[in-house]
Amino acid sequence: MNLFVEGILWALDPSHYGGRNGIETRVEQHLLISLGVLAVASLIAIPLGYAIGHTGRGRSLAIGVSGAIRALPTLGLLIIIALIVNVGLLAPFIALVVLAIPSVLAGAYAGFEAVDRRAIDAARAVGMTELQIVGRVEAPLGLPLLIGGLRTASLQVIATAVLADYVGGGGLGHFIFLGLKTNDYPQMLAGSIIVIVLAIASEAVFSIVQRLVVPAGVSAGRPQDVRVRSTRSRTAPG
């Protein structure tokens, strides 16, 4: 417990702010890495997931590949990529993108698969093209599950992005690896606490967004647990 308090005090110490290795600088690096990874993973996985969800083709292959990617040890993948492209930000960035793709891909095609087929048939019946069906029917209705996939990916990326500093990529891993090297356990714990706070904040933000993107017609059709009280006055037994 004392070590935990020391970690919090280390994170709150004004002397650890400002400069190239200040906490706020490392937090900014960590967030930029995480957001960049999510953006690139989304550009790759969302169109692919939409294509799979709309056509129904390639789902088994996507599940198999995603499972294989999830089984890859991120640190091992990071080291292999670093040996190929040299140390720096590029290696951890690529490794984190690979880590994030399965969750985003699953959210994208699962969102399309969850759409009621009758809604799609009705859209075709009124003359919508396949592209219009994707943009006006499937994408809006499947958006909550896509946000759920991004929510999962963001937690994985924020937690794993500490490895970026292992090969000189920056981020909050600096405090963890430096503390490990110098036996400065409060510094290590402080870095871990800040990462946990960022992960919780990400979870809260995506949770709110996931609720907000539910289409009004869908949320209005959900059953509500509303108990209607009787308007009749109770009379005392005679």
pLDDT digits (tens, 9 = 90+) for 76-130: 888 888 888 876 788 899 999 999 999 999 999 999 999 988 989 899 899 899 8
pLDDT on residue 2: 84
- Residue 207 belongs to a domain: yes
Nearest to 154 by CA among 49, 36, 65: 36
Q: Is 32 among the domain residues?
A: yes
Q: Which residues contact 46 (CB under 8 A, 6 or more apart)?
A: 104, 105, 108, 146
> How do residues 208-236 score in pLDDT, each as one tens digit?
999 998 877 665 445 444 344 444 444 44
Asked if the structure places residue 33 within a domain, the reply is: yes
Residue 8 lies in a domain: no
pLDDT for residue 72? 84
pTM exceeds 0.75: yes
The domain of 179 spans 21-215
* Span 171-191, average pLDDT: 93
Percent of the chain with pLDDT over 70: 89
15-62 pLDDT, tens digit per residue, is: 999 888 899 999 999 999 999 999 999 999 999 999 999 988 888 888
Residue 41 belongs to a domain:
yes
**How many helices and strands in the chain, by DSSP H and E?**
11, 0
For the domain that residue 175 is a member of, what is the CATH number? Answer: 1.10.3720.10
Domain presence at residue 14: no
- Tell me whether residue 4 is exposed, middle or buried, using C-beta atoms within 10 angstroms of its C-beta: 0 to 12, 13 to 18, 19 or more: exposed
Cα 199 to Cα 111, 166, 194, distances in angstroms: 24, 20, 9
Measured distance CA(47)–CA(232) in Å, rounded: 57
pLDDT of residue 1: 59
Q: Which two tokens mark 89?
A: 């930000």
Q: Is residue 222 assigned to a domain?
A: no
160 or 87: whose pLDDT is higher?
Answer: 160
- The verdict on residue 2 lying in a domain is no
Quote the number of domains for the chain.
Answer: 1
